[in-house]
């Protein structure tokens, strides 16, 4: 019960990583307010939470709605800035200004404003903890579209700057970097209809299990465990950093962990 008596806000909490985190926070004693545009998902979540999770519709790209969500928590100790989607898919030479701005508003601006609205309340309560959802896409090309990856890289730097700004108030700020996690973000990004998403998610899970050294697909619960560690007093000496939860996807080139993939030197030896 690490969060007994704590009040938490989770954005994008009606499904996926946000949902898993909200449930874990509630299981460990927190009173959780979830904000999301998915009203059906939010209401279903509250129905199974034994009164510890409340839901409020919130579009995090609307500053007024986001501010109202934080205020509705009636005090906030923990914040998980998690809301997101795939965003603009076009390469930099084709993306429209409008799609670029929408992606940044959802993935980066909302994190800044969520932190901005929560920080004074946390400071008045003697401190708090914030976790932001970044991504392995923040670290290199090839993991996600350009706009999404750029926004997530911004989240990483914003996390460090926010940690520096808020340390004087006893507020810790960290980020989590998910790898290949099986959530509906992929199927929605591909524009698949609802009836095809379960099949697609099973296919994605099969591919994910072969994409990193840990040979299974990542789950929302894997990320929830990391987020709850960073939000808890177990991480009381941790701020301004990020926790990579990617099954080892970014440890190195595939040949470094897959014995079936010969490396550069093996190729050279074969040629010589």
- What are the residue numbers of the active site? 148
Cα distance between the two ends of the chain: 61
- Quote the CA–CA distance of 34 and 69 in Å, as a whole number: 8
Rg (CA), the chain: 19
- String of DSSP letters for 168-211: GGTEEEEEEEE-SB-STHHHHHTT--HHHHHHHHHHHHHHHTTS
State how far the Cα of 212 lies from the Cα of 236, in Å rounded to an integer: 30
Q: Which is nearest to 110 in space by CA: 140, 137, 80, 139? A: 80
Q: How far apart are CA 134 and CA 132, in angstroms?
A: 6
d(CA 8, CA 31): 6
> Exposed, middle or buried: residue 188 (CB in 10 Å: 0-12, 13-18, 19+)?
middle
């Amino acid at each position: 019960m690490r969060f007994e008596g704590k009040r938490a806000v989770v954005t994008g909490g009606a499904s996926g990583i946000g949902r898993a985190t909200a449930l874990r926070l509630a299981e460990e004693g927190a009173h959780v307010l979830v904000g999301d545009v998915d009203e059906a998902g939010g209401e279903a979540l509250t129905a199974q939470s034994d009164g510890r999770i409340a839901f409020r519709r919130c579009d995090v790209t609307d500053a007024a709605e986001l501010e109202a969500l934080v205020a509705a928590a009636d005090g906030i100790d923990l914040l998980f800035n998690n809301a997101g989607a795939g965003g603009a898919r076009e390469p930099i030479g084709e993306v429209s200004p409008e799609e670029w701005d929408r992606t940044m508003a959802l993935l980066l601006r909302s994190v800044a404003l969520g932190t901005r609205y929560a920080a004074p309340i946390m400071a008045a309560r003697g401190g708090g903890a914030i976790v932001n959802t970044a991504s392995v896409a923040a670290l290199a090309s090839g993991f996600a579209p350009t706009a999404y990856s750029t926004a997530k890289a911004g989240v990483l730097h914003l996390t460090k700057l926010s940690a520096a700004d808020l340390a004087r108030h006893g507020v810790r700020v960290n980020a989590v970097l998910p790898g290949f996690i099986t959530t509906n973000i992929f199927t929605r990004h591909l524009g698949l209809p609802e009836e095809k998403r379960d099949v697609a998610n099973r296919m994605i899970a099969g591919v994910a299990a072969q994409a990193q050294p840990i040979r299974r697909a990542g789950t929302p619960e894997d990320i929830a465990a990391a987020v709850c560690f960073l939000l808890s007093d177990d991480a009381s000496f941790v701020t301004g950093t990020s926790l990579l939860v990617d099954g080892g996807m970014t440890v190195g080139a595939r040949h470094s962990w897959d014995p079936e993939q010969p490396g550069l030197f093996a190729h050279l030896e074969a040629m010589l």
